[in-house]
Amino acid sequence: MYSGRIQKLVSVLASYTSAKFNKYINEEDWSDIDNERIRERLASHSAYFDGRAFSVPNQFAAMASVYWRHRYDTLKNATLTYALSYYSQNAILGKSPHELRDMLRREKNWDMLHEAPKNIIYGTFLKKELYDLESIDRKSQEPVTVKRSRIRIGSFNMQKLLATTEEKILFMMNKYWNDCNTAVNEIEIPEWWMKYYKQQK
Q: What is the pLDDT of residues 29-70, one digit of tens each?
A: 888 888 888 888 888 878 888 888 788 999 999 999 999 999
Burial of 173 (0-12, 13-18, 19+ CB in 10 A): exposed
- Spatial contact of 123 and 155, defined as CB atoms under 8 Å apart: yes
Query: 128 pairs with which residues across the strands?
Result: 151, 176
CA distance 156 to 63: 16
Residues 113 and 166 placed together within one structural domain of the fold: no
Q: The whole model's pTM is what?
A: 0.75
Residues 102 and 136 placed together within one structural domain of the fold: no
CA dihedral sign of residues 56, 120, 122, 187 = negative
Phi, psi at 97, each rounded to 5°: -55, -40
| C-alpha distances out from residue 199 to 105, 112, 146, 151, 156, Å | 41, 33, 17, 10, 24
Residues 155 and 191 placed together within one structural domain of the fold: yes
- pLDDT tens, 175-192? 999 887 778 888 988 887
**Which domain-ending residue is among 53, 70, 88?**
53
Q: How many domains does the chain have?
A: 3
Residues 133 and 190 placed together within one structural domain of the fold: yes
| Range(s) of the domain holding residue 148 | 124-199
**Which domain-ending residue is among 53, 82, 97?**
53
Q: DSSP states of 62-90 as a string? A: HHHHHHHIIIIIHHHHHHHHHHHHHS-HH
- Spatial contact of 197 and 152, defined as CB atoms under 8 Å apart: yes
Residues 150 and 168 placed together within one structural domain of the fold: yes
**Which domain-ending residue is among 81, 103, 120?**
120
Residues 154 and 182 placed together within one structural domain of the fold: yes
- pLDDT tens, 135-191? 988 899 999 999 999 999 999 999 999 989 999 999 999 999 988 777 888 898 888
Residues 128 and 191 placed together within one structural domain of the fold: yes
Burial of 134 (0-12, 13-18, 19+ CB in 10 A): exposed
- pLDDT tens, 22-32? 998 888 888 88
